[in-house]
Structure 1
Amino acid sequence: MRACLFLSSAIALVALTLPSCSAAPTTTTLSSFTYPNIEHGHSGYFTLINRVTKNDGLRVCSVLDRGETQAFRHLYPVNKRGDRVEVLNRKTHDEASHTNHHHGASNLDEENGTSGEESKDLLEMNTNLEKDWPMVERAFLDSECDRVDEPFYMGDEQGQLVFNDPNGSLQADDEVRKLIDSGPDSNRIDIVFMGDGYTLDEREKFFSDMQRLVNDMFMGDTFKSFLPLFNVHALFRPSKESGIGVNGHWKDTSFRLYRDGTELRGIYVADPSAARQACRAVGKYSCDFPSLIGNDPYYGGLGGEFVISTSSNKSGTIVLRHELGHSLINVGEEYDGGQVYSGVNAERWSIQNIKWKHWLTDPVPREEKNVIRAQDYAWYNLKKGPYKVKFNSDGQWKRWSLKISHSGVDTDDSFEVYLDGKRLSWTSPGGYDRDFSEWAGDEGFSAGAHEIEFRQGEKYDHEPEDPSRPIRQLCSVTMHEFMGEDQYRFDDNVISAYPTFDIRGRKTWRSNHEYCLMRNMASTQLCSICKEGLWHRLLSKASLLDEIRVDCQGENEGEVSTFSITANVIPLGQFRKDQSKRETGEVYKIRWFRNGVHQTELDDQVHIQVPVADAGIWEFKAEFQTPEVRKDPRGLLKASKVFALSKQLC
């Protein structure tokens, strides 16, 4: 060993004669290379199909759109069953589709050639194999449709791919901001919020509104544990007029959002082609879930191809998280009086084989006992006078619950509710936006006829209507009766088989009482079944592993002596940047293998050092464990990568 030593004194400096000194060797990165995950950098392909089933059973289809997207993990490569395609039914979710004696078909039904009795499906067909795409699309249309209006088959006479709506480009006054950046768009779930009815002068209002909605959704309770899987973009495209249309007429806005009437329910898009083009312009892999946000202070929205909501401070997030839940998880309704009961949160056939048996509180499935007595989407202007809902009870039940929604009732004296002639206590939620109220009783009804009556306050009977605000309106009414707690449990922690009744009174089952926001829109929580379904859905498109990075290191630009290897995983579990978002029991289990041999000393590490002598065939394996997933039949919570280590690759 060499050393350098200098001595000094007040009289003289004496240098000891020693061997010359130089800097100690340092390790530096000489070169690097990466191994992307199998999906990263590969494309998937989608076709969007509108299918209307007529009253006589005739299935009429039209292709709305097709294009590239990121690859689907469980479709690449082709699995052992030979599956090449995934088909998602993205039905339109909106109260306007509910039909009863107080509510007929909407203008949107008429525009699409449907009636309240016909059904409409929005089918998204996905594949990862480009060469099979035209063949698969044609075969699907031939098998699932009796007629294809304006056939739009894949491929021209020369066999070239044909796109309905090519990748768009941003317009001169457009601006895109990335509000959440969790990683590469090609391996994340990307949401694009596009504003409608925001003028050029309202640019900053738009971005402020979008940031508020994003904070409510992803920094709050609803999607907080899923945040590292999401990227969120906001696209501002100025409209010539501010606000959205009403009474079936749209304004001069970018995407032409409008309400069917003046009531606070569905909002529709009259120019979906412009919305598709704008979303694609954000980026090749950036438009997984397009969302349109209307510049409007009141309740309204829609699910389906586009997740639609408004900028309402009070209800915008309520509608958005519910409709986004339909799209992200691919689930149907949980509330009563709907038409679409499908997906992971609905059991249609038998509770003995219930889909969420692995989540049940009880060892044996049981039905919670209740009955629906009244279901009415009234949409009634209380200016016209009292509104009455009548129902009968058989006197066999122990408890009851009345839930309603209303709008325009801004003061405590503006609205009155009577049950069998007795006025119920009610306090206004304040403001004119649509809101919810409920009452409950711990005794069942007597056998016979009963009546609920709704009125506006008498002092307002002669008040002229103000066109600048929503009318004083009763929107919906639901009355249930229940058995006692021994036969129907209100406990939010219980997972069982809870009856849900569709618009025709047919029964299906859901998993919980009123905990899940897919049933109770005032809730901010997803139930366990929906959370598990969301993990499965998100990880069918995003892999837990972004890439393996290898840095070739050596001393002073000499020979490579070490491989520094980093597995860039989506930061969940112990790798979350914000550990407050980590669920108890959430963890990555990580293993490394060299030439098939498990390297136990490297367990649970994402950054390792490997001497060049250990070059060879390596494999990285990761499994994400979370209490929010109890079954993973497709292995979506796992990721692996086989890669080579060699000096020749440096």
Structure 2
Amino acid sequence: MIRKIYYLISVLLFTTLVSTDAYASSFDERFMNETIRFEFQLCGNADTTFVIEGDYYEEGFWSGSQFHLLNDMDYGNYHLELVNRSNNEVIYSSGFSPLFQEWKSTAEANQTMRGYDHVFRFPKPKGECLIRVKERQFNGEEKLLSEFTFSPKDYFIIKEQPIKYRKEIIYGDGKNVSHKVDVVMLADGYTEQEYDKFIKDARRMVTALFEMKPYDKYKNDFNFIAVFHPSLESGCDIPGEYQYKNTTYGSSFYTFDISRYLTARDMRQVYKDAGTVPYDQIYVLVNTKKYGGGGFYNSINLTSVDHPLSEEVFIHEFGHGFAGLADEYYNSSTAFDESYYNLKVEPWEPNITTLVQFDKKWKMMVSEKTPIPTPRTKKYKKTLGVFEGGGYMKKGVYSPKQDCRMKTNTSKGFCDVCQKSIARIIEHHR
């Protein structure tokens, strides 16, 4: 029996090694070890979306995974694909959920049109490719929005010398970036004289993150590096209080007229500064005492730093931007209408369900003794179940526990489902 187990382990290890070598070989055959930053705009209204092609920039070496090149988890409201023109093979794909997608669900989107800046980064291909931009529709199906031709030989690819801002490693050694989660931390609303405060704030946030499960077990899988582009003024915009500051990224509260909702207006500058170091995720720390933040899957994370709950918000927003987790609250004010999720479609986010395809979610983790749906009563307070309410909706959307860091800041941590989802994303970067 021992020999059989040893043999099985040997076969699995051999298979893993062969698979890893094959992936590495596949990357080298298709890509150069460089990064392309594609800037574009998502535009439209509640019923229409179109894409405006922008510029292409060549950044440094590719810091993303060379082994997981496809969006095999199917996360995100938008998908971008890099397709080899010679054989129509998808060689790279990624999902993301931008601010524009949320704006489409607001009342304003029924009355007017807007455009939002976005960026898609991909390893530089060796041959000519097509870039396909797709949008997940309300019925769950994908729609092709636009298709652009990209040639690695195009002399319009901009190759600028990056500005050398002050940088400091907050956690990790900054090495082995293709196998780690690399997070660049940017400063907004910090003046030249507030560099030390920015570094102190960054270390405080990262320390809080690693005290939380499951991040505490995955410390060695992360690199955090701070990039300091000073602002002319300290603070940020708070339009509802008639306060305006000249900052690097134009961070502002009152997004969609929600006091706590913090976003950055100058996304191009965000990505330009982030691209001066290897990164997978962007986190903007905003130098203000006001409570708030924002997180967008595979796009950007933001939090204010001087509110008593800033560490909790930092962790919550990273759940959105990094792990693709949905909000589990349903009784707080939002700018979205009551039909944000289609109750006939299973949401892509791993921590909520409409029960349409619950088999693909956490059904196997729920005890047979636990009723589905699960009542929000004291009896099931600590039970992993299926509780109605989540994703901003009181009815028809369900979450795993009565409380979680994706629901409230008073929760002691993430529920089991969120922890499992976060761990999966981390391991996906290895």
The 3-state SS of whatever aligns with 2:329 is coil
Q: CA deviation at 1:531?
A: 2.0
2:397 corresponds to 1:517: no
CA contact (8 A) 1:167 1:280 kept: no
**In 2 relative to 1, CA 507–121 (structure 1 residues): closer, same or farther, beyond 3 Å?**
farther
Q: How does 1:473-552 map to 2 (within 5 A)?
A: 482=377, 485=379, 489-491=380-382, 494-501=383-390, 503=392, 505-514=394-403, 516-542=404-430
**Structure 1's 504 and 181: CA in aligned 2 closer, same or farther, altered over 3 A?**
closer
Q: Is contact 1:500–1:507 with CA below 8 Å preserved after alignment? A: yes
SS at match of 1:517: coil
Confirm or deny that 1:180 pairs with 2:186. no
CA–CA distance in 1 between the matches of 2:395 and 2:159?
A: 43
Distance 1:276 1:95, change over 3 A: closer
Tell me, yes or no, if the aligned pair for 1:242 and 1:253 is still in contact at 8 Å.
Answer: yes
CA contact (8 A) 1:180 1:232 kept: yes
Which protein shows a greater Rg?
Answer: 1
* Distance in 2 of aligned mates of 1:302 and 1:260: 11
Larger fraction in strand: 1
Q: CA deviation at 1:72?
A: 4.8
Q: Cα–Cα, structure 1 residues 166 and 44, in superposed 2: closer, same or farther, change >3 Å?
A: closer
Contact persistence 2:237–2:245 (CA under 8 A): yes
Q: Measure how far apart 1:178 and its partner are.
A: 0.3
Q: What are the superposed Cα offsets for residues 205-227 of structure 1, whole Å, 9 maximum, x if unpaired?
A: 11111111111112455621121
- Per-residue CA deviations over 1:427-486 (Å, capped at 9, x if unaligned) read xxxxxxxxxxxxxxxxxxxxxxxxxxxxxxxxxxxxxxxxxxxxxxxxxxxxxxx5x73x
CA-CA distance at 1:257 after TM superposition:
1.3
Shift of 1:194: 0.8
Match of 1:201 among 193, 199, 221: 193
In structure 2, the CA distance between the partners of 1:239 and 1:111, relative to structure 1 (3 Å rule), is: farther
**Counterpart of 1:54?**
45
1:229 pairs with 2:236: no
TM-score by length of 1: 0.48
Which one of the candidate residues 150, 155, 166 is aligned to 2:150?
155
**1:323 partner letter:** E
Q: Is the 8 A contact 1:346 1:510 kept in 2?
A: yes
Which residues in structure 2 correspond to 1:533-572 (within 5 Å)?
533-542=421-430
Give 1:272's match in structure 2, choosing from 267, 270, 273.
267
Contact 1:246/1:259 (8 A) holds in 2: yes
Cα 1:196/1:121, change in 2 over 3 Å: closer
Letter matched to residue 495 of structure 1: L
Structure 1 gap segments, 5+ residues each = 1-34, 115-119, 371-481, 543-650
Distance 1:85 1:202 in 2: 40
User: More deviation in 307-316 or 531-540?
Assistant: 531-540
Distance 1:95 1:60 in 2: 15
Q: What is the CA-CA distance between 1:139 and the residue it aligns to?
A: 7.3
Summarize the Cα distance change of 1:138–1:368 in structure 2 as closer, same or farther, 3 Å threshold: closer
Q: Shift in Å at residue 308 of structure 1?
A: 0.7
1:351-430 superposed matches below 5 A: 353=359, 355-362=361-368, 366-370=372-376
Give the aligned residue type for 1:268. T
C-alpha distance 236-497 of structure 1, shift in aligned 2 (>3 A)? same
Q: Which amino acid aligns with 2:314?
A: L
- Check if 1:342 corresponds to 2:344: no
Q: Quick check: 2:168–2:227 contact (8 Å CA) kept in 1? A: yes
Give unmatched runs, 5+ long, in structure 2: 1-17, 73-88, 136-141, 335-339, 342-346
Aligned mates of 1:168, 1:217 — CA distance in 2: 34
- What CA distance in whole angstroms lies between the structure 1 residues aligned with 2:133 and 2:195? 46
Distance 1:205 1:227, change over 3 A: same
Structure 1 residue 270 displacement after superposition: 2.1
Shift in Å, 1:134: 2.5
Greater share of helix: 2
Corresponding residue for residue 337 of structure 2: none
Which secondary structure state, in structure 1, belongs to the residue aligned with residue 197 of structure 2? Answer: helix
Contact 2:63 2:280 in 1 (8 A): yes
CA contact (8 A) 1:250 1:270 kept: no
Aligned residue type for 1:358: M
Q: What is the aligned partner in structure 2 of residue 144 from structure 1?
A: 143
> In structure 2, what is the equivalent of residue 169 of structure 1?
162
Deviations 1:477-504 (A, max 9, x none): xxxxx5x73xxx111xx22111125556
Q: Deviation at 1:293?
A: 0.9
Determine the C-alpha separation between the residues in 1 that align with 2:154 and 2:427: 32
Residue in structure 1 matched with residue 13 of structure 2 by the alignment: none
Counterpart selection for 2:95 from 64, 88, 94? 88
* 1:306-345 correspondence to structure 2 within 5 Å: 306-336=300-330, 339=340, 342-345=348-351
Task: Give the superposed CA RMSD.
Answer: 4.1
- Mapped to 1, the partners of 2:368 and 2:180 lie a distance apart of 37
Would you say how many aligned residue pairs link Structure 1 and Structure 2? 360
The reply to whether residue 288 of structure 1 matches residue 288 of structure 2 is no
Query: What secondary structure, in the 3-state scheme, does the structure 2 residue paired with 1:539 have?
Result: helix
Q: Secondary structure at the match of 1:296?
A: coil
Deviation at 1:230, TM superposition (A): 0.3
Deviation track 1:190-245 (CA, whole Å, cap 9, x = no partner) reads: 11111111111111111111111111112455621121110001112221111112
CA contact (8 A) 1:93 1:303 kept: no
Structure 1 counterpart SS, 2:388: strand
Aligned AA (2:45): K
SS at match of 2:239: coil
Letter in 2 for 1:517: R
Distance change (3 Å), C-alpha of 1:361 and 1:168? farther
> What is the Cα deviation at residue 138 of structure 1?
4.0
Kept after mapping to 2: 8 A contact 1:331/1:342: no
Matches of 1:121 and 1:530 in 2, distance apart? 29
Task: Label 1:331 to 1:48 Cα distance change in 2 as closer, same or farther (>3 A).
Answer: farther
Q: Identify if the C-alpha distance between structure 1 residues 84 and 318 changes in structure 2 by more than 3 Å, giving closer, same or farther.
A: same
Mapped to 1, the partners of 2:300 and 2:184 lie a distance apart of 10
Distance 2:95 2:280 in 1: 13
3-state DSSP class of the match of 2:306? coil
